[in-house]
Amino acid sequence: MTKKEKNLLLKDLCGRLPYGVKMLFNNEHKFTLDQMNPRQYSGKDGHGVIFDFGGKVYSVEDCKPYLRPMDNMTEEECDMVEVILGDENIFDFMRNGDIILKEGNFTQVMLSRLYDYFNSIHVDYRGLIPKGLALEAPEGMYNN
């Protein structure tokens, strides 16, 4: 895993922490991220984050979140994205996750709410699955 990939994964995981994203560690242990105790470290290779669960320590390279592909979003979830983004006349939201801006601008608040929403429904808006940094969540994994 490159340093760029590690940073991308870490940014993504930090945003998902409050939402109970499920993770696979070392291809064998499944935990939700909120069960882990993330902490910073300084080592010979620089600074980073490790995850601690009951005394067993994992690095970012050891973990893969289970995420849903964008095109797996339900109609209700797509409708919520439209509510978050507001006026339907300024954009088109595509089921593959593309947002086509026709006119106007996205506000910082809109984007923040959108990313929070994507994190809460465990959608892979950063493209981690195709990069091999996340696993596709099995059907029903995140059903309440």
The torsion region of residue 70 among left (phi > 0), alpha (psi -120 to 50) and beta comes to alpha
Share of the chain above pLDDT 90, in %: 24
Confirm whether 143 is domain-assigned: no
**Number of folded domains that form the chain:** 2
- Are residues 76 and 51 both part of a single domain? no
Question: Is the pTM higher than 0.85?
Answer: no
Confirm whether 60 is domain-assigned: yes
- Domain containing 132 equals 3-68+126-136
List pLDDT tens digits, range 23-65. Answer: 888 887 777 766 666 666 666 666 666 777 777 777 888 889 9
Res. 99: pLDDT tops 80: no
Question: Higher confidence at residue 44 or residue 15?
Answer: 15
- Are residues 60 and 130 both part of a single domain? yes
List pLDDT tens digits, range 16-27. Answer: 888 988 988 888
- Are residues 51 and 83 both part of a single domain? no
Question: Higher confidence at residue 97 or residue 126?
Answer: 126
Q: What is the pLDDT of residue 48?
A: 65
- Are residues 64 and 9 both part of a single domain? yes
- Are residues 7 and 42 both part of a single domain? yes
**21 CB burial (10 A radius; 0-12, 13-18, 19+):** buried
Map residue 99 onto helix, strand or coil.
strand
- Are residues 115 and 130 both part of a single domain? no
- Are residues 59 and 11 both part of a single domain? yes
- Are residues 57 and 82 both part of a single domain? no
In this prediction, residue 5 has a pLDDT band, given cuts at 50, 70 and 90, of very high
- Are residues 109 and 132 both part of a single domain? no
Res. 116: pLDDT tops 90: yes
- Are residues 20 and 53 both part of a single domain? yes
